Structure 1
Amino acid sequence: MQGMDSHMLLLLDNASPQRVSKQFSNVTLQFLPPNTSAHLQPQDAGIIQSFKSQRNKIRNAHVVDKLDELLEQVDGMGKENVKINSEQLFNVNILVAMRWAQEAWGAVTQATVANCWRHTGILGEDIFELVTDMHKLHIGPHTDRQLIV
């Protein structure tokens, strides 16, 4: 960055592990005031809640499917086997959990992300108007997942 004469503002929360004593030539560190994370951090403003909600929908659908399979087999099993299998309904391996997370993140809408950023007030309203106008004109990169700021 120094060679390109670029400058950057890095916003950090006020947690003590974030304290940095080193000075950077082209990076300005700005610490957020205490107790402002829900107001200034878009993740805390609803993105995480939306992600968790989507993940819970996926997990619940999985549990219902497994429960249906278990109930179809209940006649051939003893009560002990049914109990053991029912205790395993929520157990999944890490790969399945990662796929759920990927699917859940894909289901978080652009509108949710944009509204959470808007709620923080960090970016001016004119940014949101510009992005909206660009989408109406179909200007900009066209991908399956565009992040609206």
Structure 2
Amino acid sequence: MTSTIFSNWLCEWDKELQAKSKFILLLIDNCAAHLKNVELKNITLEFLPPNTTSFDQPLDMGIIKNLKVKYRIKLVNFILEKIEEKLFDSSATANQISGKINILQAIQFVFESWREVS
């Protein structure tokens, strides 16, 4: 997410809400992409206090963290397998090898990781 993408999306949504004469309050975190100076008519932005993610968004600390750990394990195992199979020259770094993963492989890693989350 970038600030440009977020701002464009927010402005488009604001236009849709204006057409429907609807007003909303949107609670958002303090991600750097979430700009505070966006001119909106039908959306009021309210920012969560800094450093409260673990209290306000418990999924970030539990389920999502668990998913990320399982995904990273799959990624590291993939890199180690490729090194053992000698599919890359000996000077290749882990970053270079992980950069060779395509979207389908990444989706499969996420899918498999999600199935392992209890």
Which TM class, normalised by the smaller chain length? 0.5 to 0.7
Give how far 1:95 is off.
Answer: 5.0
2:107 counterpart of 1:102 = yes
Which residue number corresponds to residue 20 of structure 1? Answer: 37
For the Cα contact (< 8 Å) 2:29–2:47, is it kept in 1? yes
Instruction: Give the SS at the match of 1:2.
Output: helix
How large is the Cα RMSD of the aligned pairs?
Answer: 3.6
- Normalising by the residue count of structure 1, what TM-score does the alignment of the two structures yield? 0.46
What is the CA–CA distance in structure 1 between the aligned matches of 2:102 and 2:69, rounded to whole Å?
14
Which residue number corresponds to residue 10 of structure 1? Answer: 26
Instruction: Give the SS at the match of 1:18.
Output: coil
**Rg larger in structure:** 1
For the Cα contact (< 8 Å) 2:54–2:60, is it kept in 1? yes
Give how far 1:54 is off.
Answer: 2.6
Instruction: Give the SS at the match of 2:85.
Output: helix
Which residue number corresponds to residue 88 of structure 1? Answer: 92
For the Cα contact (< 8 Å) 1:66–1:89, is it kept in 2? no
Identity %: 26
Aligned residue type for 1:105 = V
Which of these residues, 47, 72, 84, is aligned with residue 56 of structure 1?
Answer: 72
| Structure with the larger RCO, 1 or 2 (CA within 8 Å, 6+ apart) | 1
Flag structure 2 segments of 5+ consecutive residues without an equivalent: 1-16
Give how far 1:96 is off.
Answer: 0.8
Indicate how the Cα distance of structure 1 residues 4 and 20 shifts in structure 2: closer, same or farther if over 3 A, else same. Answer: same
Give the number of aligned pairs: 99
For the Cα contact (< 8 Å) 2:74–2:109, is it kept in 1? yes
For the Cα contact (< 8 Å) 2:23–2:43, is it kept in 1? yes
- Normalising by the residue count of structure 2, what TM-score does the alignment of the two structures yield? 0.55
Instruction: Give the SS at the match of 1:30.
Output: strand
Give how far 1:103 is off.
Answer: 2.6
For the Cα contact (< 8 Å) 2:79–2:98, is it kept in 1? no
Which residue number corresponds to residue 40 of structure 1? Answer: 56
What is the CA–CA distance in structure 2 between the aligned matches of 1:100 and 1:51, rounded to whole Å?
16
